[in-house]
Structure 1
Amino acid sequence: MKQEVQYCELADLNDAKDELIEIRRHIHRHPELSYEEFNTSDLVAAKLQAWGYAVTRNIGGTGLVGTLSVGDSKRSIGVRADMDALPIHEKTGLPYASCHDGKMHACGHDGHTTMLLGAARHLARTRNFHGIVNLIFQPAEEAGSNSGAEQMLRDGLFERFPCDAIFGMHNHPGFPTGTFMFRSGPFMAACDTVKVCITGRGGHAARPHLSIDPVVVASSLVMALQTIVARNVDPAEMAVVTVGTLHAGHAANVIPEQATLEMSVRSFTPQVRSLLEQRIRALIETHAEGYGAQAEIEYIHGYPVLVNSDAETAFAMQVAEELVGPENVISPFPAIAGSEDFAYFLQQRPGCFVRLGNGLGKPMLHNAGYDFNDENVTVGAAYWSRLVERFLCL
């Protein structure tokens, strides 16, 4: 009678916990920004090579792939972790806080990298699968455009490292550690950036009738833009238009020549994304014209909508339920207005992007007080190990 296969359990990573925490804190202390992840890439490559992986470097810049093949099956899986930090000055006061001023792992990519390294270590030791696993360590997720995912794909990622499916994970503050969150279909938003320069006619603050005040135009425009979601987008759809910067003038008694503003635009369907661009452009142009001013618009298309495929999401959720119990799995989790360049991978391969609770009462992502929860290093490593084993089952 065929013996039942035993897949990875949480306890199987206990012996690696101290080592993984040490790795995570080392990466946290030495953060590197997008496309500058040289030392992080060196560390990852050295670990993978020591564990027996074939390592291919310089994919999409500082990205790399560790490949491990067991048996003669051609079935393959990709698992991705991002490596870059953010241009934020850390204020955690931790003993392993960033040693580089103005650079910080404020999004948990140090933890994402470590969790995948933990899985790499376990899979290499047990080899409890039959097929090919490609561990993808990606640069520049935080780039916003021209990201690491795009660059790795341009370098032939899936042609060089075939993947029948691909999976990724992100920590999620505000939920208990060990809690997994899933959603099939559109899960994270497309994110576009709009830069606007309004040109009026400068002059003396005491003679506004002789000027065309771009400050008034810009201020009025900010309020008008809020009507797009409220009055142009179907209430059943989700969309966000946020003006994040507004700059004009340098003196109280001078009407400036120009005012500039920048906004973030988020959506969950191509139709709404197109509608938002159309209405934003039209509103800016006609609004400026109505005041006698001129507007220049730079509309930058960022990451697309992240869409999880149904079968792979169901599979990934089942793995989580097996590992931590159904009571620690949330599905369907609400769609998230944040964006993620893993969406580019999912445009080319089926897969699932997973969220993992980072702890209750913890600072949010991109916050100077944020820190990845070390309790997750083995949880994530065990999850990735079991997912690979189940996908490439013997």
Structure 2
Amino acid sequence: MSNRLKFRKYLVLAACFLIMAVSFSIINNITSLFIDPVTKHLRLSISSFSFVFTIGAITTALMSPVIGQLISKVPLKAIMSLGAILAGGGFFCYSLATEIWMFYVIAVIVGIGTSCLTVIPISTAITHWFEDKKGMALGIAMAGAGTGSFIWMQIVSRMLTDLSYQETYAILGLIILVVCLPLTLFVMKMPPDTTIEAKKKEKISYKDIHWSMQLILFALGLFLLGVNISGTKMHIQPYLTHLGHPLTFNANVGSTQAIFALLGNLIGGYVFDKLNLRNSIIIFVSMSLLSYICLIYGAFAPLLFVFAALFGLCLCLPSMLPSYGTSALFGKEHYAMHLGFINMIFTFGGALGPMISGFIADHLNYTLVWVTYFALTVLYSIFLLISLRSKKPQT
């Protein structure tokens, strides 16, 4: 690879990091801060407004296979530029919404934009640009989400104190547009690989994918992983409150988790590159199992910080395993379509997790929630490891 192309691929990596740090972090990780001001101002129930997040997750899931197919036919910059416009413009439109149905409609627009802009296009670009050290490159790109969340959580909480939620929505929407649109127009592109360009001209569809038991087991494992991760993340703070810990303590646990999540993406990328996929999964699943034991005995406060560290490190699994595993198992042939299907299943699991946690916690108790997720962790690790038995070489 020439020096010019080497510079280009690292420029693409930097753009991916920034897009995740701005658009993905704002849209997916800090919107919970708007629940209180929006519901109080518009006199909405928390459950009705929370459904906005569910609509966004379902839209992203349904769009994943569509984006996977489009990437093989449409230039990457066109897809991602449309995504930047829909995501940023849609987020701006939240500032104009006065009825709950308006939030629901806008959530669909933002969900489509996020699908076109973030995980699948970015994973596809990284996979094709970085033949070597793919795990590290994916880890750096996905670390943008953790970095952005840590920064935006502080900024947006202060904005909502000094400004109205409408002004905050509008400013953040404009920031997404101003930062992401130039990056998608002038930086994001696929490498000049003739095989990639040729595939854009092929008439390929999901019928071309080999629907093997390997693919089904891998997708099922990721579905359960999505249930576990989202169901746990969304209920940590309520659980800490349930245990009677003060808000400052809860915030410290959350900050610890955020810091280790950022480290986890970087460490995870290195581990995925240096060790094989099977050993990497075993290492991080073992940490996840230990983290749930810490939650079960969360009445002993120091264990909650151990949980935050272990669980934070494990968050590299949902960040990297769908994209890295898809490449490792199925190669680059029809990569985006494989990833589109797998990401759809994974996202559906993520949408289901918080509801499962809430149902068990409401009707039984939080201890049973964590015991359930401990068991599901064992189950999804079995599915993933079995799917690796007939692992194909990367192409």
TM-score band w.r.t. shorter chain: under 0.3
Normalised to the residue count of structure 1, the TM-score between the two structures is: 0.27
Higher strand share: 1
Normalised to the residue count of structure 2, the TM-score between the two structures is: 0.27
Higher helix share: 2
